[in-house]
Amino acid sequence: MPTASSSLSLPLFIGCPVWNCDGWSDVVYPVGSKRPQWLSWYTQMFNCVEGNSSFYAIPSVENARRWGAEAAEGFRFCMKFPRVISHDQALINCDSPTSQFLAALEQLAHAQRLGPTFLQLGPHFAADRFESLSKYLTKLPREFPWAVEVRHLSWFDSASNESRLDELLTQLHIDKVIFDSRPLNQAPPEDDFEKQSQQRKPKSPLRNTVTGNHPMLRLIGRNHVEQVDRYFDEWTSTIVQWIAEGRTPYIFTHTPDDTFAPAMARRFWEKLRSQLPGDLNPLPTPPRKPRQLDLLM
């Protein structure tokens, strides 16, 4: 088993959309390691994760406490708001699920493992619901870091709707999630995973707007991760500038098949290292195949 320490106390965070995937043996965890060990191994390889699981179900206090205890020092969970809050109830009359979710986040904060928690608004949550969004965000505890991702096109009007949102987030020190699906959509799909992703992922207009100290980039790539290189080159200069401004970026690498997300993260990290050679060490090497004795322990 890995030790609970991390060498990734660095000026930026990078990770995948999940911490467990059957295709990550010999990539993130050793062959033969058991599923309950996967989180601990993942936190040795990367220093953050996009916690998509909380979108589908509010995590229990007990699970959140366990996650915090199992994660390596310096690691950060960036949990997604549950869909019952963001989509089903659209931020209205959701005090009870919000309280439950905050109770879980408190466990991660107590363990010093809490990164920005992000509110991904539904595709039908338009700018005419600004007041609902404002009221909800204003009530969130200020001691936790937050981020917001909007998807409806009305938020991208390059006019009053967009500026009003940016002003609100800046005032509340909440980061605006940057969603870039250009790499995914640069060419026709090459497999069923890419076909489904192109149908499902939004094609939101790209914005580089920064409203807080933890810019969050969600980069949607391809299963052949080398096809994303030109976008890595473009984003590297932006990320270097953010760091020069004293900000701490969070980067999440998505691939249509999650199997390839770690490879995309590693490739992007090496691009960043070429521009920040004194600040970034190589990511830890994938774990070795365990000896038979290890599997018996």
- pLDDT for 200: 95
Which residue range forms the structural domain that includes residue 97? 13-296
- pLDDT for 290: 53
Please check whether residue 6 lies inside any domain of the structure.
no
Please check whether residue 4 lies inside any domain of the structure.
no
- pLDDT for 287: 76
Other Cβ atoms less than 10 A from the Cβ of 36: the count is 10
Please check whether residue 259 lies inside any domain of the structure.
yes
- pLDDT for 286: 80
For residue 34, which phi and psi values (nearest 5 degrees)? -85, 150
Please check whether residue 2 lies inside any domain of the structure.
no
Please check whether residue 237 lies inside any domain of the structure.
yes
Ranges of residues in the chain with a pLDDT under 70 are: 1-10, 288-297
* Contact by Cβ (8 Å): 240, 271: no
- pLDDT for 161: 98
Please check whether residue 24 lies inside any domain of the structure.
yes
176 CB contacts (<8 Å, ≥6 apart)?
Answer: 147, 148, 149, 165, 166, 169, 207, 209, 210, 211, 212, 215, 216
* Pairwise CA distance, residues 109 & 220, whole Å: 28
* Pairwise CA distance, residues 220 & 201, whole Å: 9
Please check whether residue 279 lies inside any domain of the structure.
yes
> Domain tally for the chain?
1
Please check whether residue 186 lies inside any domain of the structure.
yes
Query: CATH number for the domain including 51?
Result: 3.20.20.410
